[in-house]
């Protein structure tokens, strides 16, 4: 049976509020023989906390089944001196990375959350410090470059805006470590020992999830929850193989179309 990569935010929950039927959907997918990997651009919680949050929604999974962007950063930036503008909760995930306040080899930006912590992390002083390090020769990395994400209160500005600002100011290009980067998808496929052409990506983001997975040779399914916007789909040249109402419909859709 095909392997399946499952996005988390917007697919399983919105601001912690579960999408109906997520637990049953995952159980059915496992019973049908699919190998699963949960792939998230969440940059505000540790992998253990993310896994526990999913279990609280009724989803059965092991921590190791989660592919996270901080873990990707730890692989790429191991041994480097890094100025990290990230939420404090993920610092422990950056194993092997030397976190510094100056004379950095790399600048790393994480994402925002719904607390007041982004006010401190992405302050003018911190962004100016990051700019100075880039001007001195540091490389720019980001855990993702999302422009916004969906909350229970509506769309919220994400840290991709700050990444773009630093790119503009320092005249550099950021290396994206999470979706839609090839390295991130390759790590998830390697964990499943799966071929891209025999793997499905399920997500709510037409750019990071669907376009990113298609560029890597995977087939895709877009859910109408989370960041889904009909006008964005119509305006995009990206066409998923399927569009379903939510992840609850996924097992039935796969049974009909495989």
- Which residue ranges in the chain fall short of pLDDT 50? none
User: 0.85 exceeded by the pTM?
Assistant: yes
Give the pLDDT confidence score for residue 65 in this predicted structure.
97
In contact, 90 and 70? CB cutoff 8 Å: yes
**DSSP secondary structure, 224-255, as one string:** SSTT--HHHHHH-S---SEEESSGGGHHHHHH
CA-closest candidate to residue 233, choices 203, 254, 253, 201: 203
Which residues have CB under 8 Å from 224's CB, separation 6+?
243, 244, 245, 246
In contact, 14 and 152? CB cutoff 8 Å: yes
Give the pLDDT confidence score for residue 13 in this predicted structure.
96
Give the pLDDT confidence score for residue 9 in this predicted structure.
95
Handedness of CA 109, 205, 246, 40 (dihedral sign): negative
Give the pLDDT confidence score for residue 1 in this predicted structure.
86
Give the pLDDT confidence score for residue 126 in this predicted structure.
98
Give the pLDDT confidence score for residue 137 in this predicted structure.
98
- 93-103 per-position pLDDT tens digit: 999 999 999 99
Give the pLDDT confidence score for residue 69 in this predicted structure.
94
Give the pLDDT confidence score for residue 204 in this predicted structure.
97
Average pLDDT, the chain: 96
- Give the Cα separation of 126 and 130 in Å (integer): 6
Beta partners for residue 17, in sequence order: 14
CA-closest candidate to residue 93, choices 139, 51, 138: 51
CA-closest candidate to residue 49, choices 96, 90, 21, 8: 90
């Amino acid at each position: 049976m095909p392997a399946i990569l499952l996005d988390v935010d917007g697919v399983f929950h919105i601001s912690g509020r579960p999408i109906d039927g997520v637990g049953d959907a995952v159980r059915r997918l496992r019973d049908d023989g699919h190998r699963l990997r949960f792939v998230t651009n969440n940059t505000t919680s540790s992998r253990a906390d993310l896994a526990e949050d999913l279990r609280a929604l009724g989803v059965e999974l092991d921590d190791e089944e989660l592919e996270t962007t901080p873990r990707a950063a730890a692989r790429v930036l191991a041994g480097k001196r890094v100025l990290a503008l990230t939420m404090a909760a993920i610092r422990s995930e950056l194993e092997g990375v030397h976190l510094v306040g100056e004379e950095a080899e790399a600048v790393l930006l994480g994402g925002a959350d719904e607390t007041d912590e982004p006010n401190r992390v992405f302050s003018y002083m911190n962004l100016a410090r990051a700019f100075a390090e880039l001007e001195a020769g540091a490389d720019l990395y980001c855990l993702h470059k999302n422009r916004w994400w969906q909350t229970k209160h509506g769309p919220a500005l994400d840290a991709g805006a700050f990444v773009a600002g630093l790119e503009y100011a320092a005249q550099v290009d950021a290396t994206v470590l999470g979706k839609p980067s090839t390295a991130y998808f390759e790590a998830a496929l390697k964990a499943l020992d799966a071929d891209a052409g025999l793997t499905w990506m399920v997500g709510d983001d037409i750019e990071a999830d669907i376009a990113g997975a298609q560029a890597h040779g995977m087939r895709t399914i877009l859910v109408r929850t989370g960041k889904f916007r009909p006008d964005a789909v119509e305006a995009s040249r990206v066409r998923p193989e399927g569009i379903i109402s939510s992840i609850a419909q996924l097992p039935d859709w796969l049974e009909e179309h495989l």
